[in-house]
């Protein structure tokens, strides 16, 4: 996606399909403005009418949801001495994780996804929050073989939240990580424990040193009821 694209042209393209508005999202002591779909139900109804949902995990606009795991992983990145390092976010959706991480001193952040609508929303969010000097938005397909020439130096950290739900993505994802981690780099994956994929960790252990952990988070649901989620954190390092 061109980095020179202005927010007005982005919003015009987005509004051809969606009714949207920016809404404030509190993150620790500061706030982000995040582009939100106002006509989600009618959009979903249209997809159903066009029989465009063959595989819900792939065809529904899951990229538009603000996943709590993005905040969990975004805050965790602070512990990895990010000053001067590079970060690649995979399957970024609307880009929350990268925007949270942007305040931590990374020298380069690449926010990526494969869905064009997600890339437009992410780019609009980056521009709205004036993060374009710190965050690049790029289309990245982890199933593409070979090393991506745009990322020849590799990344100190690769991070992804709620990306492991597609089992057929596991092998190409691990190969991609192996090709694009810089020496001494780490890849971090955050997944709600209710959706954890133990098979991915077993597969990853063939090529990487694996550290597994869990983080419990208290939050409130749409009805204001307190709930506790537990997130699985997988950290991959070269064996």
How much is the pLDDT for 3? 53
Strands 30-37 and 20-27: antiparallel
For residues 195 and 172, what is the distance between their CA atoms, to the nearest angstrom? 20
Among candidate residues 88, 145, 140, 143, the one with its CA nearest the CA of residue 118: 140
**Topology of domain 7-238, CATH:** Rossmann fold (3.40.50)
How much is the pLDDT for 4? 60
Encoding tokens for residue 131?
A: 């993060």
The domain segmentation of the chain, as residue ranges, is: 7-238
3-state DSSP assignment of residue 134: coil
For residues 14 and 12, what is the distance between their CA atoms, to the nearest angstrom? 5
For residues 141 and 79, what is the distance between their CA atoms, to the nearest angstrom? 28
pTM, whole model, 2 decimals? Answer: 0.91
Q: Are the C-beta atoms of residues 169 and 189 closer than 8 Å to each other?
A: no
Please determine, for residue 5, whether its predicted confidence score (pLDDT) is greater than 90: no
How much is the pLDDT for 2? 43
Q: Give per-residue pLDDT as tens, 113-138.
A: 999 999 999 999 999 999 999 999 99
Q: Give per-residue pLDDT as tens, 23-58.
A: 999 988 789 999 999 988 888 878 888 888 787 767
């Amino acid at each position: 996606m061109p980095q020179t694209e202005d927010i007005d042209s982005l919003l015009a393209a987005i509004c051809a399909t969606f009714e949207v508005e920016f809404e404030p999202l509190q993150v620790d002591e500061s706030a982000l403005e995040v582009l939100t779909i106002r006509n989600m139900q009618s959009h979903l109804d249209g997809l159903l009418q066009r029989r465009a949902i063959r595989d819900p995990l792939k065809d529904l606009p899951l990229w538009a949801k603000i996943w709590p795991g993005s905040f969990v992983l975004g805050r965790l990145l602070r512990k990895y001495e990010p000053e001067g390092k590079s970060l690649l976010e995979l399957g970024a959706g609307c880009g929350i994780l990268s925007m949270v991480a942007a305040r931590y001193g990374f020298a380069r952040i690449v926010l990526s996804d494969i869905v064009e609508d997600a890339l437009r929303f992410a780019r609009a969010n980056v521009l709205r929050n004036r993060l374009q000097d710190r965050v690049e938005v790029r289309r990245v397909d982890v199933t593409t073989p070979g090393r991506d020439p745009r990322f020849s130096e590799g990344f100190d950290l690769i991070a992804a939240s709620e990306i492991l739900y597609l089992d057929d993505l596991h092998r190409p994802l691990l190969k991609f990580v192996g090709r694009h981690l810089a020496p001494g780099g780490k890849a971090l994956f955050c997944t709600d424990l209710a959706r954890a994929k133990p098979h991915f960790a077993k597969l990853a252990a063939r090529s990487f040193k694996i550290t597994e952990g869990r983080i419990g988070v208290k939050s409130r649901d749409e009805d204001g009821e307190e709930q506790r989620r537990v997130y699985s954190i997988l950290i991959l390092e070269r064996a």
